[in-house]
Amino acid sequence: MIDTVIFDWGGTLTPWKTVDNHDGWRRYTSVAHVDDEERAAGIAAALLEAETMRWATTRDTHVSFTVADVLADAAAEQHPAALDAYREFWVQATHTDPEAAPMLTALRARGLRLGVLSSTAWPAEWHEEWLRRDGVLNLFDACVWSSDLPYTKPHPTAFRAAMAAVGATDPATCVYVGDRPYDDISGANAVGMRTVFVPHSDIPVAQQVPVDVQPDGVIQRLSDLPPLLATW
């Protein structure tokens, strides 16, 4: 029997949106170095390179990182107002799918535990502020972000941390829902969870890892999840 459903965030609960990461860092440095355009441009380029390298390391070793790590790698100062501007830039990609709330409400009505596990460099409070804004934070028993963990998906410790956070003990009774075959489907399968694939994200080539994996289910929209799980 299924008693727990854990979701990926970006590309799953939040529809995928392709955004230029360099533009985000330019927003940061335009505030941090408002009077020096040349320096702002140079540091933005360094931040993009540092972030790209961090994601490459994460892909290969699954070691997590934070925004603070990227700033340190690029020898960029931590500037509170610039960080606010950077966060505001990314709001465009944070809006929860309108089908999420009714879907989650339906699953909670069945008594299922619900959680989030996301690989992210952003702080937990950013994500939870956005989930609260969209009226869905209270529908989860717990949310786990890799920025608070030593490893990201598909490392097994990330999935086990999410299980522990929602109070689940048996991976065989858990379902993971995600949009990435490697990070989400293979990672969850490896710890014994069932998996549901949401195949709509345009994942950057540099973040893709070829993997031969078969999800237990595929859905085209979040509203398809409750009827699928009802058959399991």
Q: Percent of the chain scored above 90 by pLDDT?
A: 94
Which residues is 151 bridged to in the sheet?
Answer: 63
What residue segments make up the domains of the chain, in order of their start? Answer: 4-17+94-229, 21-92
Residue 102 has pLDDT above 80, yes or no: yes
Residue 75 above 90 pLDDT?
yes
Cis peptide before 154 (omega within 30 of 0): yes
Looking at residue 204, its pLDDT comes to 80
Considering the domain 4-17+94-229, what is its CATH architecture?
Answer: 3-Layer(aba) Sandwich (3.40)
pLDDT band at 166 (very low <50, low <70, confident <90, very high): very high
**Confidence band (pLDDT; 50, 70, 90) for 205?**
confident
User: CA nearest 224: which of 106, 122, 135, 96?
Assistant: 106
C-alpha distances in Å from residue 30, one per residue of 22, 26, 70, 87, 193? 12, 6, 17, 13, 44
- Give the tens place of pLDDT for each residue, 25-36: 999 999 999 999
